[in-house]
Every structure is written in structure tokens, then in C-alpha cells.
């Protein structure tokens, strides 16, 4: 295969905003004994560690409670869906002979709950929470590169948080930002994204075109599929 494109999942391939907020609110509700809704969560709830969010709401022993309750709450929450164009974009990438990979903070057991089987079939490698130190550490991306036998200089990583961009830069991979995700384009540019894509329909083989771009925070508007 020529080159590789790696992806974060939540906020990049998968629109899970409602589900993640509902999961946080549900655990807080049970722990605190009062109704907590998504509007009660802090504005940065989706980009902050879940334990920090819950602790800030007054939940004691949040780490232990997440270990017990997170998967049941997530499995029963509804609302996850692929962003428009993701399946078509991944299909085009695979059709071009480009390797694909997922590097996510989700555990491996959750992937079948969250991603359609058709998407999982298009991924050559998946690196999950239990496989490597979490982003912003580059470990997960480096593990994916090793499994694919890919050169970091011919690899792009599309993420939606500051931690994603930092991890890609540390791994020597071209960092691309997903403006439709959790952090927003301004934060991604400030973090050093080589380009910030403005729409998920931009996902395609053209993502590798950015690997030769200077890392100066461009906004992508050209067709990439």
C-alpha cells in the first residue's frame, strides 16, 4: 500500500456528541441522586477527561464509577451516527490502495456498538484505549504505523481535538483537523494542524496531499475525495 490515513473516531468519523453527553449526565445523575442533563455539563465536557468532568460536578470516586457504569450507560444511549460522507470517503481511500487505521480512546469492546460493520471492515488496524497510552501521547499512532508498516512522512492523521494534533506532531505524522468535531477550527489551527478540513465529505485519498504541506494551519476547501 502507498501511504496511510489514520483517524480518530468520536467527532471525526462518528457523530457521538449527544451520546457522550448523555452518558456523562446519566452517570452524574445516579451518583449525585439528582437529575443532571447535558445542559448542566461544562462547555468543554467533550474535550476534557470524563473523570475531571464528573469530579467537577461533585461526583466522588469518579474513576471507580466510570469503570462500573460507563459501558452500560454508553451501550444504552442512543444517537450515534456516521458523519455524512464518511463511508464513501473510507471506501475511496481503500480503493486507492491507501492503508487506513483508527486510533481512539474508546475500548475495543465498544467499537461494534458504535461503528457500523461496513466501516470496521474498511479499517486495516484499530488501536484502542487498552493498547497504548492515550493521546496526546504519540504511542497509539506509532503503534498503528508499526502495524501497517507505514512511513510517518507519508501518513496523515485526522483528529478533532488539541490532543489529537499534539499526538500526530509528536509522532511525525501530518496532523489534520476536523472542523466538524469537538474542539472547533480555531483550536485546531492554534494547536498546529497542517490543515483544517471544513466538511466530512472532504475525507478521501486527497488527505495524503497534505503530507507535503507546510504545517501552518491552512483551511482546506479543495476537493479531497
Other C-beta atoms within 10 Å of 81: how many? Answer: 13
> Do 127 and 105 meet the contact criterion of CB atoms below 8 Å apart?
no
Q: What is the largest CA-CA distance in the chain?
A: 54
CA dist., res. 206 & res. 163, Å (int) = 23
> Do 100 and 77 meet the contact criterion of CB atoms below 8 Å apart?
no
8, 15, 160, 164: the active-site residue: 8
CA dist., res. 11 & res. 171, Å (int) = 21
Rg (CA), the chain: 17
Catalytic, 164? Answer: no
- Catalytic positions, please? 8
Amino acid at each position: 500500500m502507498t501511504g496511510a490515513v489514520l483517524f480518530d473516531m468520536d467527532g471525526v468519523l462518528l457523530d457521538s456528541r449527544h451520546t457522550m453527553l448523555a452518558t456523562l449526565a446519566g452517570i452524574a445523575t445516579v451518583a449525585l441522586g439528582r437529575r443532571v442533563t447535558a445542559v448542566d455539563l461544562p462547555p468543554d465536557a467533550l474535550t476534557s477527561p470524563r473523570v475531571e468532568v464528573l469530579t467537577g460536578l461533585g461526583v466522588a470516586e469518579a474513576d471507580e464509577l466510570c469503570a462500573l457504569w460507563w459501558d452500560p450507560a454508553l451501550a444504552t444511549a442512543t444517537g450515534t451516527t456516521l458523519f455524512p460522507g464518511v463511508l464513501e470517503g473510507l471506501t475511496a481511500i481503500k480503493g486507492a490502495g491507501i492503508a487506513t487505521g483508527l486510533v481512539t480512546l474508546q475500548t475495543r469492546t465498544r467499537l461494534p456498538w458504535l461503528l457500523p460493520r461496513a466501516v470496521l471492515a474498511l479499517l486495516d488496524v484499530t488501536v484502542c484505549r487498552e493498547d497504548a497510552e492515550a493521546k496526546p501521547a504519540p504511542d497509539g499512532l506509532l503503534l498503528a504505523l508499526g502495524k501497517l508498516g507505514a512511513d510517518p512522512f507519508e501518513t496523515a492523521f485526522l483528529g478533532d481535538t488539541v490532543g489529537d494534533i499534539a499526538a500526530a506532531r509528536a509522532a511525525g505524522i501530518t496532523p489534520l483537523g476536523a472542523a466538524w468535531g469537538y474542539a472547533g477550527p480555531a483550536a485546531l489551527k492554534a494547536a498546529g494542524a497542517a490543515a483544517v478540513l471544513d466538511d466530512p465529505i472532504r475525507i478521501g485519498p486527497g488527505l495524503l496531499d497534505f503530507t507535503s504541506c507546510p504545517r501552518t494551519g491552512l483551511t482546506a476547501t479543495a476537493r479531497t475525495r
